[in-house]
A and B are shown apart, each in its own frame.
Chain A
Amino acid sequence: MSKRNGTVAVVTAALLLTTGCSSPGGSASGDAGAPLVIGASVSLTGDFSDSGKAVQRGYQLWADTVNAAGGILGRAVQLKIVDDASSPTQVVTNYQNLINKDRVDLTFGPFSTLLTIPASQVAKRYGYAFLAPAGGGPKMFEQNLDNYFFVQPAPTVQSGDVFVNYVLSLPADRRPKTAAYAELDDPFAAPLAENVRQKLEAAGVRTVYKQVYPSETMDLSPMMGAIAALRPDAIIAGTQNEDAYSQVKSLVQLKFSPSVLFQSNGANSPMEFPDKVGAGNTEGILSPADWFPGSKAPGSADFTAAYIKKYGGTAQSIDDSSAEAYAVGQVISAVAARTNKIDNKTIISSLHAGSWPTLLGTLSWSANGAPSGEFNLVQWQKGKLLPVFPASVAQASPEAPKPAWGG
């Protein structure tokens, strides 16, 4: 190395030391009395804005609740929420600013795997714990980040496991004999349905149809027509939202009601689903859920009451993204209560062990941030979305077979 280059390197290193790299997350516990500043980038505009705003409501509600009770270890929680416009590049800029410029004490995650992956890498670089209410796609966990914790009961593609367990819990003569699989081609839906298919096939449920459909497929009637012609006992659908609604509408028009209909997403939305498919057509449809109205999990009743008081509506109108965001805060509160410290190192080391009660149930994580629990199975019964499996959370017995369409 020449002398000139050497000088440049030394000056650069000095600059780096005095700027961005000087303060990895970890100083939070020493500032007793100062507000605990938590930064989060949330999609307030763009494609994910509806869910992003729901996440913001959850974070805010948790901060309000904690502050009303005296803050965390005597420190008032102060949220700094910035908009990333649903952009994976903006989210990186936002977290860099939050950490380096605003010097927040802790960071909370954004909405969707698409944004959580790049954001978690920024947090990792600066030693920040990264708890996210959304970001359960397989690629997220392939990063093997030790600072990442997905605050839901299980990775998204495993959220169908509870349905498999329900089917296997049935006596052999009441289990579906044949199943058709309709799988949306996206990183969550198709792998989720495939996971269910492999387990059910191993248990002897015969696959009579399996097709993946592209996300731009506007009309699912032809595919549902092909499934209806085979008259399977069960239809197992890896869905998001729009396609879940279309599937049900097509099946109603085709006048085919299977004994079992499981949709991985869309059907678990208490307000949207009946509005889109018609209230009479929801009865008996199964779906996975982490939080549901009326949940008895720790903090759920308080969360529901506080939510309705602050934002209005009913328990049914609460987006589960708000509950998941609130759970992120609950985990932080629990770490502070158990360790009497609130800094990133303590959060990361604490969460890799033990179990943590939240309104989504009790959570625990493996080394790569994948939660090791299970979702709940919810079913539409008389216009309400009720947990029916496992028995520990069930508020009603599963209704089987699914009744005919109601119009």
Chain B
Amino acid sequence: MVQGVILGVLTAGVYALMASGQTLIFGIMRVVNMAQGAMVILGAYLSYQLFTSFGVDPFLAIPATTAVMFTVGVAVQLIFLRPLHQDDRTQLSVLVTFAVALLLEGVMSVLWSTSDRSINTGYVNASWTVLGYQISLVRLWAFLLSLVALGLLHVLLRRTRFGRAVRASVQNPESARLLGVDADRIAAIGFGLGAATAAAAGSVYGLLYPFNSGSHYDLISQLLSIVVLGGLGSIGGAVVGSLVISVSTAVVASAFSPIWAPMTFFVVLLSVLLIRPRGLFGTAARGAL
């Protein structure tokens, strides 16, 4: 049980990183990004390629992979999402981003085939023994990386001019536009940032789990559940949602049965939504991030 909690908390960091991009994209653009999982896997492949071809450590590769994925994210926004009409953007975005996910999956299976890949660094299976319990080093570093990345995201949104423009766009897009905020530019950069967090998470994902081009299907259902539980658009909510999903599945899987683990999470999710339909930290109206 204790081992389950330790695993759950550490793994939550990775989920939080993946889900923060998802919720950021929704918060800024009201776009439900079904391609977030595929972007995480693409990030994992990029990291895998840098490691196998050039020996670059997956953690050190993160600046490079995030830069590439930022560009991919901006491109996806410009090509596929910008043409969508404001009024039905949320509904249409589900279909459009799902198509993007399928496109990415196809490209990945052509480039890297459909075999499983995993990134095996020398330290990938190392763990520390603390009071008889094992703490995986990679999971611990991934957790710390997530804290750093989420901290940076927080600073970016709260302390910079860009962040103020983002928040203004979220709160009142019309007024922001009148005050000179370029909403299109903010949306493109926002989507790029979401993709960049996916890249950072992808590096860690590749260290923790074997993956193939189809791995994003399992991932996206969990990510959507996390952001719905935490409240769409709330980064803090994504962190709490990640903790709930990760700890509950780990504890149930280790203490009871792995079969019931996903079920338990959905019971929690449905219970929260029954009492609080907008999720734990979601707001009824626009205005939070």
Contacts and interface: CB of A to CB of B under 8 A. Distances in A.
A241 B136 contact: no
B125 A249 contact: yes
B7 A225 contact: yes
Contact of A276 (B7, B109, B208, B210): B210
Contact of A281 (B125, B218, B219, B251): B125
B122 A407 contact: yes
Interface string B181-224: 00000000000000000000000000011101010001100100
Contact of B259 (A211, A222, A225, A241): A211
A245 B210 contact: yes
A186 B4 CA distance: 25
B261 A217 contact: yes
Contacts of A217: 253, 258, 261-262
Given A246-B210, A254-B127, A185 B254 contact: no
Contacts of A205: none
A253 interface: yes
B209 A246 contact: yes
Contact of A216 (B109, B116, B262): B262
Interface string B105-116: 000010001111
B113 A50 contact: yes
Which of B125, B136, B219, B250 is packed against the most chain A CB atoms within 10 Å? B125
A97 interface: no
B121 to A, nearest CB: 9
Given A222-B7, A242-B210, A253-B125, A212 B258 contact: yes
B3 interface: yes
Contact of A255 (B129, B222, B259): B129
B124 interface: yes
B118 A245 contact: yes
Q: How large is the interface on A (under 10, 10 to 19, 20 to 34, 35 or more residues)?
A: 35 or more
A218 interface: yes
Contact of B120 (A48, A49, A213, A276): A276
A324 B142 CA distance: 42
Nearest to B212: A242
A255 B250 contact: no
Interface string B236-256: 000000000000011101110
Contacts of A64: none
Nearest to A221: B7
A407 B126 CA distance: 7
Given A252-B125, A253-B125, A255-B134, A222 B261 contact: yes
A245 B116 contact: yes
A218 B3 contact: no
Contacts, number: 111
Contacts of B3: 222, 225, 229, 254
Interface in A222-267: 222-223, 225-226, 229, 241-242, 245-246, 249, 252-255
A222 B4 contact: yes
A249 B124 contact: yes
Contacts of B172: none
B212 to A, nearest CB: 8
B257 interface: yes
A214 B127 contact: no
Nearest to A224: B254
Contacts of B261: 217, 222
A268 B87 CA distance: 54
B134 A214 contact: no
A255 to B, nearest CB: 6
A232 to B, nearest CB: 15
A214 B257 CA distance: 10
B258 A213 contact: yes
Contacts of A218: 209, 218-219, 222
B225 interface: no
Nearest to B123: A407
Interface in B96-147: 109, 113-116, 118, 120, 122, 124-127, 129, 134, 136
B136 A214 contact: no
Contacts of B136: 221, 253
Given A211-B258, A212-B258, A253-B125, A222 B116 contact: no
Contacts of A220: 258
B124 A278 contact: yes
Contacts of A245: 116, 118, 210
B207 to A, nearest CB: 10
16 contacts: A214-B262, A216-B218, A218-B219, A219-B209, A220-B258, A221-B11, A222-B7, A222-B258, A223-B254, A223-B258, A225-B4, A225-B254, A226-B254, A242-B116, A249-B125, A407-B122
Given A246-B210, A249-B125, A272-B116, 10 more contacts: A217-B258, A222-B253, A226-B254, A242-B209, A249-B124, A253-B125, A275-B120, A276-B116, A278-B124, A278-B125
The 7 closest A-B pairs by CB, nearest first: A213-B258, A222-B253, A222-B254, A252-B125, A222-B250, A225-B3, A226-B254
